Structure 1
């Protein structure tokens, strides 16, 4: 019993370190330039920890290696970040607008926002395995988000839970959010067949 508890706390400590490095590298990349490399490093490092790859490597070295695998994707990170910011800002202004079309525009913007987040997450997932151009990755991500609609809804549910967690208790979200989101996303994406 004591050894199982010890193993549990060792994994928890590793997950906390991964969360810390996620925030550190996200801030190091000025957030908008580091979304894709940080998300990739989060997902791959958590997968490596669960597979036991981290035993020979330090968590910091493992995270840095996974981050640098997609560190050149700054322009795509920038485009995803800017599109997310623009859609979210448009949602704010449409909600303040009193018109008969505001509900329809809000629904369209929410759909586009959800699709943007799904494209980002599926792209990060497929970039782990594929060396394709961005056009192919985005198309594959779009078709996968439709083909695996139940998984896409599960990811969106996870994002909504993380959003409410962040609004309810931000400190809990900062500490637990990245690794809980990464573990949930890895669990969901194991059902996606790599094409």
Structure 2
């Protein structure tokens, strides 16, 4: 059961990272690749809903910062709502805080699944086999917690001539379960910057 749950989490994240992102970008009329030297995109999606949203922040060739929030409704006739965002703090300060939270270095969630398991005691299996011979075997096991809220975040970032992309499923939930995992800490820091500076994706 644990293996199935992990695979489902990886697959749901891969869906957001793959074809759906290209379809969303096409509807939003933005390129698939980051076209500015300093840019970050965060896609939120997942679950059974046809709704997704995208936060975009970049600095253009004239050193002017722009931030936008897109809401995307998929369907036979996709709808897009776009609005400009203005951060509370200076834009360059905000972007550097993304970098400070290791946006250029974070791995994707599938790379740290082993950290999101709680180790159980060694299982001892002993008895008599079909030939009447005694046996004793030992097995290591672990428990993996899951959530059904299905919130998936896919991040793309470019800065200092470097690019990175990564995705996390329900990072707020997993940080509560595994507060010692630094990758979850930094992913949630990135989301918290967006929530506090731009007043979007607020949690209850």
Name the structure, 1 or 2, with higher relative contact order (CA <8 Å, separation 6+): 1
TM-score by length of 1: 0.38
TM-score by length of 2: 0.36
